[in-house]
Each structure stands twice: as C-alpha cells, then as structure tokens.
Amino acid sequence: MLTIYGVYRSRASRNLWLANELGIPFKHVPIIQHYRLKDPFPADVVHTRSPEFLRVNPNGHVPTIEDDGVVLHESLAINLYLAKKHGGPVAPANVAEDGAMAMWSLWAATEVESQALALLTQGVTDAGIAALRAPFAVLNDALAKDGHLVGGRFTVADINVAEVVRYAMPATTLFDRAPNVKAWLAACQARPAFKTMWAARDKEPA
C-alpha cells in the first residue's frame, strides 16, 4: 500500500490531493516539520528531524512516499510518478504529454514557488507582485485555449501547478490581472478531491 509521510499543512497536500483524485487507498503518516515545534522537541512527536523519519528521508523534509518498495521524495516528482503508475485521465496519454506535465511542474517550482511562498509567509509587497507578473502572464496565456495545461483536460500538471500558485492567493491583484489563472485555480479547488484534502488540512493545528 502507498504510504504518504507529511502533514496536510505541508507540500504533502499535493500528494494527498492526487491520491484522492485517483481513488487509491493509502496510509497517511502525519510527520510535522521540525521548525513548527519548540526546541527541545517533544519526545512523543515524530517530526522531520526524528531519527525514525530520517531513516526514511535523510534530507529531513516532507513529503516522502513508500510504495511497494519504491521510496520517493519531492512532492511534484511523487505526483508525476503516481499519475503514471495509476493512469487514467490525470496521467499522460503519450510521451509528449508526459514531457509537458514535467515541464509545467518544473516551471512552477522554478518560476513561481519561491516568490509565491514569500507573499504567503512574509506578506504582500510591490516587489513580490512584480516578480510574479511575468510568470502569471505566461500561465494566463497557456490557459486561454481550454482552461487546462495539458491535453485539454484536468491532469496532474494542473494539481502540481495549482498547489504552487495557491501560495500567491494573498496577492489578489495578481489574479485580477490574470483572469484565466483566477478561474482555473477556482475550478481546481472546486474539485471534490481537493475539498476532501482541504477539509482534512483545516482539522490540523495551524
């Protein structure tokens, strides 16, 4: 069985959302980030620096999965793996779609994530908004045709990019200037699998 390590309030949310989309059984092990705990860390809480978790992921980050002997780190790569393993409409239909899904996932990580996280954690600034205007314009144009990133349908690429773009939501002016992005993100977050993930996330301590 698939095991997903990481609390919902982490990048594990991406993998938990996809598992819901795929309808596959999984075990959830809620490993909390060590920086969210007071030092000295509680002895009864397994966190990202606990020896038992470091044996699973020596990088000390979540998420990680174990899947029938396969151990993977990095949330976006995990999602690409799970989609290809289980197939269906969220998975690539051919090698061209596979490449496009990988491209968009890496694009989100390199072009958006750091600046979007800064908006979320440090507050909205003019500089932060300016840094994301060009990537948002690229994404807005890509969504103009049919509202999806690959293959004219909802895929793992939408999940991977949406979960990165979500961090920028405090900067409402970015979305107002990119109406296709705004509508697409709302549609992604309206999906039952996202709502299931988000309801579980809301139950976790902030």
Q: List pLDDT tens digits, range 132-165.
A: 999 999 999 999 999 999 999 999 999 999 999 9
Contact between 193 and 17 (Cβ < 8 Å):
yes
What is the per-residue pLDDT for 44?
82
Question: If phi over 0 gives left and psi between -120 and 50 gives alpha, with beta otherwise, what is residue 145?
Answer: alpha
- Rounded CA-CA distance 149/30 in Å is 31
Looking at residue 59, what is its pLDDT? 97
Angstrom distance (rounded) from CA 106 to CA 65: 19
Span 159-180, pLDDT tens digits: 999 999 999 999 999 999 999 9
Among 38-47, 51-60, 64-73, whose mean pLDDT is lowest?
A: 38-47
Contact 82, 19 (CB under 8 A): yes
Task: Give tens-digit pLDDT for 103-125.
Answer: 999 999 999 999 999 999 999 99
* Residue 94: predicted pLDDT: 98
For 71-114, the pLDDT digits (tens) are 999 999 999 999 999 999 999 999 999 999 999 999 999 999 99
Looking at residue 43, what is its pLDDT? 77
Domains along the chain?
A: 2-89 (3.40.30.10), 95-193 (1.20.1050.10)
Mean pLDDT of 35-42: 83
1, burial (CB in 10 Å: exposed 0-12, middle 13-18, buried 19+): exposed
Return the biggest CA–CA distance within the chain. Answer: 53
Average of per-residue pLDDT values in the chain: 97
